[in-house]
Amino acid sequence: MTSPNGSDQGDFILLGFSDQPQLEPVLFVVILAAYVLTLLGNSAIILVSWVDSRLHTPMYFFLSNLSFLDLCFTTSSIPQLLFNLRGPVKTISYWGCALQLFLFLGVGGVECFLLAVMAYDRFVAVCRPLHYPTIMHPRLCMGLVSVAWAGGLANSLAMSPVTFLLPRCGRHEVDHFLCEMPALIHMACIDTAVVEGTAFVLAVGIVLAPLVFILVTYAAIVHTVVGMGSMTGRRKAANTCGSHLTVVSLFYGNIIYIYMQPGSGGAQKQNKFPTLFYNIVTPLFNPLIYTLRNKEVKGALRKLLGLERDSRKN
């Protein structure tokens, strides 16, 4: 409910997919199943990376951080969406909306930096294999992850209050299924050019700079792989980088499609399904991508489930 005096401190209404009520039951079932699988898949990656000593390497340290980010990302919005899909009540509290915005911006920013860190790890593994243990020592890995978290959270601390405290003149209907920055800016009843300009400048540093770094890094990796004499070495390098490249393509493909469009109302409505894909499908695919393409993870999962020992007996 909104406050009696019509101030901006009341609850928000997340319109979501209410303009397509016939679709809501189907979305509820599909999203619930995907969310449960996301929780199981990413939790399994974290568990095997912690339990299996063979996976105590920088690559799996970064991968477990990515899985933790995906858990935080989906949990910040999907339970609320599932609740709203159940019936006519679409409300979210004022502070719940603020927390959702903070986590959405923060975790998304951390993931941009973390994917760049993982690209650097792959660069060292392929281009400097003999020096890999020396370069990627635990202190550096922890430092890189800390910088990624600090950068993402700093972005959220800068943009969340500015966006959330924009005057809305009593408007409380968010034309989205979550409290996302473009949707909240669209609700403002003042000129938001300065806020949008600030968001664009920060996006260059948070989104585009890591992407450019990843592209440059993989250009160097490709150059090294092309110069390899043996086909075995090339195949090993491709397997090493393939999973990360797939995850980067999914993540950045969605971000570019969602945020590089004009901020019109039509574009806002079209962005609901890509944002849903970004919130639930990408975190669901990440553990599958690394599991299906990675023998070490599959072996660790079999060992955790007791299947590896049984296969040896047979």
pLDDT in tens, 55-76: 788 988 999 999 999 999 899 8
Q: Which of 134-148, 219-233, 241-255, 271-285 has the lowest mean pLDDT?
A: 219-233
CA distance 216 to 220: 6
Split at pLDDT 50, 70, 90, the class of 211 is very high
pLDDT digits 0-9 by tens, 182-202: 888 888 888 888 888 888 888
Check: CB of residue 11 under 8 Å from CB of residue 1: yes
Encoding tokens for residue 141?
A: 């890995």
What mean pLDDT value characterizes the chain?
82
pLDDT at 113: 94
Average confidence (pLDDT) over 207-224: 90
> What residues contact 286, with CB distance under 8 A and at least 6 apart?
41, 42, 66, 67, 70, 247, 250
Average confidence (pLDDT) over 120-128: 90
Average confidence (pLDDT) over 78-82: 91
Q: Percentage of the chain surpassing pLDDT 70?
A: 85
pLDDT at 260: 57
CA distance 12 to 19: 17
Average confidence (pLDDT) over 223-240: 74
Selected residue with higher pLDDT from 19 and 232:
19
Q: Which of 9-18, 53-62, 149-158, 293-302 has the lowest mean pLDDT?
A: 293-302
Count of C-beta atoms within a 10 Å radius of residue 108: 22
Average confidence (pLDDT) over 129-139: 91
pLDDT at 181: 85
Selected residue with higher pLDDT from 95 and 238:
95
How deeply is 204 buried, as exposed, middle or buried, from its count of CB atoms within 10 A (0-12, 13-18, 19+)? Answer: exposed
Average confidence (pLDDT) over 96-108: 90
Element containing residue 14 per DSSP (H, E): strand 12-14
pLDDT at 29: 94
Average confidence (pLDDT) over 262-277: 61
CA distance 31 to 34: 5
CA distance 78 to 85: 10
> What residues contact 148, with CB distance under 8 A and at least 6 apart?
65, 110, 113, 114, 116, 117
CA distance 307 to 259: 44
pLDDT at 293: 61
Average confidence (pLDDT) over 144-151: 94
Average confidence (pLDDT) over 155-160: 89
Average confidence (pLDDT) over 273-302: 77
Four-way CATH pick for 12-313: 1.20.1070.10, 2.40.30.160, 3.40.50.720, 1.20.1280.50: 1.20.1070.10
Encoding tokens for residue 217?
A: 């890094």
Q: Which of 53-62, 102-111, 194-203, 257-266 has the lowest mean pLDDT?
A: 257-266
Examine the pLDDT at 129 and tell me if it is beyond 70: yes
SS3 category, 281 = helix
Average confidence (pLDDT) over 110-125: 93
Residue holding tokens 């260059």? 204
Half-sphere exposure of 273 (CA within 13 A, CB side): 6
**How does DSSP assign 54-87, residue by residue?**
GG-SHHHHHHHHHHHHHHHHHHTTHHHHHHHHTS
Examine the pLDDT at 139 and tell me if it is beyond 70: yes
Count of C-beta atoms within a 10 Å radius of residue 313: 5
Split at pLDDT 50, 70, 90, the class of 121 is very high
